[in-house]
Amino acid sequence: MEWEVVIGLETHTQLQTKSKIFSGSSIAFGAAPNTQASAVDIALPGVLPVLNKEAVQCAIKFGLAVDAEISPRSVFARKNYFYPDLPKGYQISQYELPVVGKGSLTIHVGASAGNENGYEKTINITRAHLEEDAGKSVHGASEGMSGIDLNRAGTPLLEIVTEPDMRSAAEAVAYAKKLHELVQWIGICDGNMQEGSFRCDVNVSVRKKGAEKLGTRREIKNLNSFRFMQQAIEYETRWQIETLEDGGTIQQATVLFNPDTGETKAMRSKEEANDYRYFPDPDLLPLQITASDIEAIKAVMPELPADMKARFEGEYSLSAYDAAALTASRGIADYFIATTAAFGGDAKIAANWVMGAVAAKLNEEGKDISASPVSPTALASLLKRIADNTISNKIAREVFEAMWAGEGDADHIIDKKGLKQVTDSGAIESIIDEVLAANAAMVEEFKAGKEKAFNALVGQAMKASKGKANPAQVNELLKKKLAS
């Protein structure tokens, strides 16, 4: 029997605002417990929430980025439940009328069995709404007691909910990664998953292939790594299929993933869950967003990755593959754009270097492009030396390594190491003469019609020049000599 897994995601993204969503407290991570908790955050009697406009701007940005409806009027609601880290006894969220409505995000799913080239898929976004985060319970803070840290209470979150559109762990992870990149790209979230700035709840259900009705779902809570997400969904899918094949039924439940065992385990069943008694928060007026508010945000929106990709393909004649790679993250794109601008030459050369040498070094050292020791301008000055024939592409790799190691700028290194390309045809000619004299056998082979021998001779000449001879000139002169 063939089974199909159906997946939907709810992602909590922490918004990069200066202060909390309903108070003026800072949201910086890692401060001493309760040092970033104001009267409003700890819910003293009589205090009132005031909406942070910056959080609304973040929501509008997101709405524009996923081509969504932005509600002219949305409503904050109270979600009522008791927990020690929830100071008011309710969370201010949005329920019936969220700020962002239906939108979509196109993902690229990587190659897999039966899909050698991968494929594109559009994931529908149901809604995104603003809400406040809760504080943290610190268990065992002192003997037999739990501590409460309210620094995080009131941190602005945008909860992004998808339709149940994903059909594999790979699709879910591709969506999560794409979303993760997008929220950083538009500057609304720092994307730091360790600090909880981006965390996903994944709804998983299975059904027989071809069935229309969705199976009963279980929700995997709070996944803060893509690897865990992949493992958790795979385990959960297997578990559900096995349960059903063994004649069992799935109960709607919230489950947690244990990275140590690789298993998911039910936390509490939804039947016993709280009745949250949502109702519109009378302390906050409905949120009104006008067309001019949206225009103002549009004016400061960065170019979106999809638009930038199309532009790279057109303006720089890059392949779709290259353009996609260069727009995979805002950091890479910015680096490439800055390099190209400073270089002024063929953007394809810049593209090859960014995706080649730079990416390889970053990968090797596990660094983000923002931490690259070679800046775009430094890279551009190296590329200029290739373009003006001061050095060959091959020598440039050596210079680049030295630049990466912090030995100075390109010109300094070329100079110091004497790597300047030999373009004097007299000097090259004498090198060729030496090579021809020393490799008479190869010359014979060439003359006998073996084309490969020519390349070997070029190699010998380059080697004799320690790589400094201009390869084009070597080719040309060698051809001439052999023909004569």
Partner 1 sequence: MINSSLKQLGTLLAEKKISSVELTQQFLDRIDQHNPEINAYIALDKEITLAQAKAADQRIAQGSATALTGIPIAQKDIFVAKGWQTTCGSKMLENFIGPYDAHVIKQFDTAGAVNLGKTNMDEFAMGSSNETSYFGKVQNPWDRSRVPGGSSGGSAAAVAARLCAAATGTDTGGSIRQPASLCGLSGLKPTYGLVSRYGMIAFASSLDQAGPMAKSCEDMALMMNVMTGFDERDSTSLQREKEDYTRDLNKPLAGLRVGLPKEYFAEGLGADVAKVIEEAIAEYRKLGAEIVDISLPNTQLSIPVYYVLAPAEASSNLSRFDGVRYGHRAAQYDDLMDMYCKSRAEGFGAEVKRRILIGTYVLSAGYYDAYYLKAQQIRRLIAQDFEEAFKHCDIILGPTAPSTAFKAGEKADDPVSMYLQDIYTIAVNLAGLPGMSIPAGFTQTVDGKSLPVGLQIIGNYFDEARMLNAGHAYQQVTDWHSRMPEGIA
**List of residues contacting partner 1 (CB under 8 A):** 39, 42-51, 78, 80, 82, 84, 87-90, 148, 275, 277-279, 282-285
Nearer to partner 1 by C-beta: 287 or 391?
287
Nearest in space to 112 (alpha carbons), one of 164, 177, 171: 171
Contacts of 244 (CB under 8 A, 6+ apart): 3, 206, 250
Instruction: Write down the least CB distance from residue 224 to partner 1, Å.
Output: 26
Buried b (16+ CB within 10 A) or exposed e, 203-214: bbbbbeeeeeee
Instruction: Write down the least CB distance from residue 252 to partner 1, Å.
Output: 15
Q: Which segments of 76-130 does DSSP mark as H helices, in order? A: none
C-alpha distance from residue 147 to each of 20, 150, 266, 418 (Å): 21, 10, 26, 65
Instruction: Write down the least CB distance from residue 21 to partner 1, Å.
Output: 13
Instruction: Write down the least CB distance from residue 371 to partner 1, Å.
Output: 41
CB 149 within 8 A of CB 138: yes
Work out the burial of residue 475: count CB atoms within 10 Å of its CB; fewer than 13 is exposed, 13-18 middle, 19 or more buried.
Answer: middle
C-alpha distance from residue 302 to each of 184, 299, 316 (Å): 11, 9, 19
Instruction: Write down the least CB distance from residue 81 to partner 1, Å.
Output: 9
Instruction: Write down the least CB distance from residue 43 to partner 1, Å.
Output: 4
Nearer to partner 1 by C-beta: 92 or 428?
92
For residue 400, the one-letter residue type is F
Nearer to partner 1 by C-beta: 90 or 404?
90
Q: Which segments of 217-358 does DSSP mark as H helices, in order? A: 226-245, 291-300, 305-315, 320-326, 330-343, 347-353
Contacts of 55 (CB under 8 A, 6+ apart): 15, 17, 21, 130, 156, 158
Instruction: Write down the least CB distance from residue 293 to partner 1, Å.
Output: 17
Nearer to partner 1 by C-beta: 284 or 482?
284
Nearer to partner 1 by C-beta: 49 or 156?
49
Nearer to partner 1 by C-beta: 50 or 371?
50
Instruction: Write down the least CB distance from residue 86 to partner 1, Å.
Output: 9
CB 255 within 8 A of CB 264: yes
Nearer to partner 1 by C-beta: 161 or 284?
284
Nearer to partner 1 by C-beta: 143 or 212?
143
Nearer to partner 1 by C-beta: 47 or 482?
47
Contacts of 276 (CB under 8 A, 6+ apart): 79, 80, 81
Instruction: Write down the least CB distance from residue 138 to partner 1, Å.
Output: 14
Full 3-state SS string of 343-403: HCCCHHHHHHHHHHHHHHHHHHHCCCHHHCCCCHHHHHHHHHHHHCCCCCHHHHHHHHHHH
